[in-house]
């Protein structure tokens, strides 16, 4: 009897795993591979800020799960997990609702032989008063589209009133920094599309960070160069500033000051999704992450794995695997190899995290990063066009994991040709 592996979450880790398992075992019916996600299309998470500002169009960049599954040997099921019953080897999916909140698909029970939880992570508000009510958490396609709608409304109003638009971003990590740079790019570009009364003088961006520098997790040189570019663009940096409350008008800091903002974004911290609070049968940490061992198996439970930002894997150094795209990709690669080995009754290998460095895109203005390698210094600083090309290559590697080498090349070429003939900004 064919065994069934259910993967919940079609992000970078879950989709890559489903794609490779489907191509190797699903097509030949050695395994029944199912991928579950609440969305119908996939956008690489590091590109969500580009969707938010309209630099990329999800109709071009988006991967349709149902079509991709047909071509890559896995079955796509639309749904959102609401609980897990390890003793019954099943999960429960929440009802699917339409725009009028009518149930179109009732609650479902999905059985499995092996379960992989790849639910990703969400921004952590640290229980800041008013944050969830008044901020957009840029951690999903839905939130990116919501920001895009708000931005379009604000640009339309700004073009008529010629006052100013203030956008506040909490968190100067990669998402916050890249979003701030892209917003300046958009403001400089919209005049080509009839917004003739708008200039960069009408835009005010506040980047708020509790640490004493932007990109606090990255080396000093990367942080310094990124900060210099942001300052040159006129972005207002609020460093060593903690937000204690978010209101409709803006951010109230711990020092009692108010930073006004028409649009408010929260891009600080990472934790597991709220639904994991319901998973009482699994070991869940205070940050809503699932505790896993070095093989990504959920501690104390057979046949369930977790990977990516929703999993907490403690390395030999005593530190957890960082919530980064490269870590999720490496986890998916290791789990794929281990499942393949298990199919052949061969020994599995423990996960080993390799830090290849970080690259941050500052829109068309620049890119900065550090590469890890066998250099004497251990790191190599890159900036400008070289860093930009390397940043693009990361996306290409992601596509290769989803399509294979040849198909990824054809897919990327088709994307470029479509974008060449279509508007450079999505203004609808």
User: Splitting the chain (428 residues) into consecutive groups of 10 residues, what average pLDDT does each group show?
Assistant: 94 95 94 96 91 86 93 96 96 93 94 97 94 94 94 92 91 93 87 84 94 91 90 94 97 97 95 94 95 96 96 94 91 96 92 85 70 48 68 80 83 72 69
Distances (CA, A) of 406 to 184, 242, 293, 333, 355: 35, 48, 35, 19, 27
| Nearest C-alpha neighbor of 235 from the set 178, 281, 283 | 178
| Nearest C-alpha neighbor of 306 from the set 334, 286, 280 | 334
Distances (CA, A) of 181 to 127, 203, 256: 28, 12, 28
- Same-domain check for residues 165 and 239: yes
Residue 417 domain boundaries: 357-421
- Same-domain check for residues 116 and 135: no
Q: Are 223 and 246 in contact (CB under 8 A)?
A: no
CATH number at residue 238: 3.50.50.60
- Same-domain check for residues 198 and 82: no
pLDDT for the residue numbered 71 = 93
Neighbours of 189 (CB within 10 A): 18
- Same-domain check for residues 248 and 180: yes
Q: Are 366 and 383 in contact (CB under 8 A)?
A: yes
Give how many domains the chain has, as a whole number. 3
Instruction: Note the pTM of the prediction, 2 decimals.
Output: 0.91
Residue in the structure block whose two tokens are 């996600």: 37
Neighbours of 80 (CB within 10 A): 16
- Same-domain check for residues 148 and 104: no
352, part of any domain: no
Cα angle, residue 109 at apex, residues 108 and 115 outer, rounded to 5° = 125
391, part of any domain: yes
- Same-domain check for residues 135 and 76: no
Domain boundary among 266, 292, 327: 266
Query: In sequence order, which residues have a C-beta less than 8 Å from that of residue 174 and are 6 or more positions away?
Result: 46, 215, 358, 360
- Same-domain check for residues 144 and 167: yes
The secondary structure of residue 22, as a DSSP letter, is: I
Domain boundary among 223, 246, 266: 266
- Same-domain check for residues 135 and 261: yes
- Same-domain check for residues 8 and 113: yes
- Same-domain check for residues 150 and 106: no
351, part of any domain: no
Query: In sequence order, which residues have a C-beta less than 8 Å from that of residue 169 and are 6 or more positions away?
Result: 176, 179, 180, 205, 206, 207, 208, 265, 267
| Nearest C-alpha neighbor of 310 from the set 123, 126, 120, 124 | 120
pLDDT for the residue numbered 423 = 67
348, part of any domain: no
- Same-domain check for residues 278 and 232: no
SS3 354: coil
- Same-domain check for residues 90 and 137: no
Query: In sequence order, which residues have a C-beta less than 8 Å from that of residue 92 and are 6 or more positions away?
Result: 81, 82, 83, 84, 85, 107, 108, 109, 110
328, part of any domain: yes
Domain boundary among 266, 293, 327: 266
pLDDT for the residue numbered 370 = 65
């Amino acid at each position: 009897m064919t065994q069934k592996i259910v993967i919940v979450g079609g992000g970078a880790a879950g989709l890559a795993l489903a794609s490779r398992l489907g191509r190797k075992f699903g097509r030949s019916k050695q395994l029944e591979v199912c991928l579950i996600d609440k969305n119908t299309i996939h956008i690489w998470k590091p590109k969500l800020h580009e969707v938010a500002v309209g630099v990329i169009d999800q109709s071009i960049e988006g991967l349709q799960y149902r079509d991709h599954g047909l071509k890559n040997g896995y079955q796509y099921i639309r749904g959102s997990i609401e609980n897990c019953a390890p003793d019954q080897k099943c999960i429960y999916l929440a009802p699917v609702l339409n725009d009028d909140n009518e149930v179109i698909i009732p609650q479902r029970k999905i059985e499995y032989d092996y379960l992989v939880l790849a639910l990703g992570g969400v921004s952590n508000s640290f229980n800041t008063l008013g944050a969830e009510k008044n901020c957009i958490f840029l951690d999903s396609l839905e939130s990116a589209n919501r920001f895009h709608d708000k931005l379009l409304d604000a640009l339309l109003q700004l073009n008529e009133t010629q006052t100013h638009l203030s956008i506040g971003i909490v968190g100067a990590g990669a998402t916050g920094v890249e979003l701030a740079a892209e917003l300046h790019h958009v403001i400089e570009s919209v005049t080509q599309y009839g917004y003739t009364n708008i200039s960069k003088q009408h835009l005010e961006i506040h980047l708020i960070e509790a640490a004493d520098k932007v990109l606090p997790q990255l080396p000093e040189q990367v942080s310094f160069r990124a900060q210099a570019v942001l300052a040159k663009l006129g972005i207002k940096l609020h460093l060593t500033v903690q937000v204690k409350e978010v209101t409709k008008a803006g951010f109230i800091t711990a020092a009692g000051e108010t930073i006004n903002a028409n649009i408010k974004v929260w891009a600080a911290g990472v934790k597991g999704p709220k639904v994991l609070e319901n998973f009482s049968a699994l070991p869940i940490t205070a940050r809503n992450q699932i505790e896993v061992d070095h093989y990504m198996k959920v501690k104390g439970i057979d046949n369930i794995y977790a990977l990516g930002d929703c999993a907490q894997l403690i390395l030999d150094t005593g530190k957890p695997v960082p919530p980064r795209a490269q870590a999720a990709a490496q986890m998916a690669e290791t789990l794929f190899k281990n499942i393949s080995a298990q199919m052949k009754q061969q020994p599995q290998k423990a996960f080993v995290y390799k830090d290849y460095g970080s690259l941050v895109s500052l829109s068309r203005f620049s890119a900065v990063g550090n590469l890890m390698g066998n250099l004497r210094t251990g790191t190599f600083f890159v900036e400008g066009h070289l860093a930009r090309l390397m940043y693009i290559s990361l996306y290409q590697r992601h596509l290769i994991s989803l399509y294979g080498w040849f198909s990824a090349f054809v897919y990327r070429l088709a994307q470029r040709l479509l974008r060449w003939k279509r508007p450079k900004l999505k203004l609808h």
